[in-house]
Amino acid sequence: MIRILIALVVLALAAPAAQARNASAGELEWSIIIHGGAGVIERGAMDDETEAAYRAALQAALELGGAMLSGGADGVDVVEAVIRTLEDDPLFNAGRGAVFTAEGRVELDASIMAGNSRAAGAVAGVTGVRHPISLARAVMEHSPHVMLIGDGAEAFAAERELETADQAWFFTERRWQGLERQLRNLGLPVPPRPEGAPDPEPIREGALDIMERAHRFGTVGVVAMDTQGVTVAGTSTGGTTAKRWGRVGDTPIIGAGTWADERCGLSATGTGEYFIRFNVAATICHEADRLMIEHGFEAAAQMAADRMMERLEADGGDGGIVMLFVGQPVWAMNTPGMYRASWGERREPYVAIYGDE
């Protein structure tokens, strides 16, 4: 009897994965979910122009991903393309618009993972590659490794002829002013502005969103399920303002900030040290697997995500996640807000910022 029960459980768990592996193009519905960072994002903290800009950026990224997926695009292509647009958008802390280290430079991290094969690639501490997510993909597809860092990652990017950028390209005035404030709070000296950076300019206070003033983190992430049933997750970040000593957070750590398997894909944003300690991304997906027989796919995923957010909060960590579990969108946060958006073949586009949306 016990053997029969075990066999039934195994079959139930394997069914969605088998469906994903065996589906041909168009047989499965596509799905996508995006985040642009979580934090103390409350109504009234941003002026109308800034809020509208964030919503428009999320909507544009969502439309790009949805159009690609509905046309049958591969999930890895979709995740890379959408994250590249967010890396070029100075509103977000990834690529252009990333935060600065205490030494006054941008150090970028990214990762990507394909759920059908568990193939993954990640980079950390990159300073001269325009699109770290593309470099992470190159690591996944064209190297025997999973993670490359610093000078080695830059050398590999050169071999792959990926687009480069100098520090002035990544520079934004609001991130620099955020660095100056943080360094003064820490009693550390303010370094010279990066070579080629524009002259100082005033910033509208309303344009400095409350997440940037109250927190030092921010990340962009995308999870997509393509029409082949393959779930892919990717994440990209500039890390934390005034980080020191080559600090690396959860974003490039497979299992902590990014995870994808046969049923689940997840991208995280928040206080990276806690997400690493709790191996947040993989743990939520595995817990959802454990719970789904009793509670069903969607309820299990939300329950697993909410439990992890509560556990993080109790331990002092904050942030949020977006995930697809068997294509169903789930998000959870223990902060007042998170920039997020989702869409699916039979779902209307959804864009939100605040926790009560």
Within 8 A by CB and 6+ apart from 22, the residues are none
Active site residues per annotation: 219
The Cα–Cα gap between 269 and 221 comes to 8
Q: 22 or 332: whose pLDDT is higher?
A: 332
Residue 45 confidence (pLDDT): 76
Q: 290 or 14: whose pLDDT is higher?
A: 290
Backbone angles phi, psi at 341, to 5 degrees: -160, 150
Question: 208-247: buried (b, 16+ CB within 10 Å) or exposed (e) per residue?
Answer: bbbbbeebbbbbbbbbbbbbbbbbbbbbbbbbbbbbeeeb
Helices and strands per DSSP (H, E), number in the chain? 11, 12
Count the neighbouring beta carbons within 10 Å of the beta carbon of residue 356: 8
Q: 14 is written with which tokens?
A: 């394997």
Determine contact, residues 47/56, Cβ cutoff 8 Å. no
Rounded mean pLDDT, 74-87: 98
Burial class, 78, CB count within 10 angstroms (exposed 0-12 / middle 13-18 / buried 19+): buried
Rounded mean pLDDT, 97-103: 96
Report angle CA 229, 234, 235 to the nearest 5 degrees.
155
pLDDT tier, 8 (very low <50, low <70, confident <90, very high otherwise):
very low
Share of the chain above pLDDT 70, in %: 88
Count the neighbouring beta carbons within 10 Å of the beta carbon of residue 165: 16
| Nearest of 251, 258, 266 to residue 328 by alpha carbon | 266
pLDDT for residue 214 is more than 50: no
The Cα–Cα gap between 295 and 236 comes to 32
Rounded mean pLDDT, 249-278: 97
| Nearest of 149, 185, 168 to residue 106 by alpha carbon | 168
Q: 204 is written with which tokens?
A: 């509208």
Question: How much is the mean pLDDT over the chain?
Answer: 89
Residue 199 confidence (pLDDT): 87
User: Is residue 104 left, alpha or beta, with left meaning phi > 0 and alpha meaning psi from -120 to 50?
Assistant: left
pLDDT for residue 146 is more than 50: yes
Residue 298 confidence (pLDDT): 86
pLDDT tier, 40 (very low <50, low <70, confident <90, very high otherwise):
confident
Q: 45 or 187: whose pLDDT is higher?
A: 187
Residue 217 confidence (pLDDT): 55
Determine contact, residues 224/260, Cβ cutoff 8 Å. no
Least confident of 29-33, 63-67, 209-213, 282-286: 209-213
pLDDT tier, 184 (very low <50, low <70, confident <90, very high otherwise):
very high
User: Interhelix angle for 150-159 vs 132-142, to 10°?
Assistant: 80
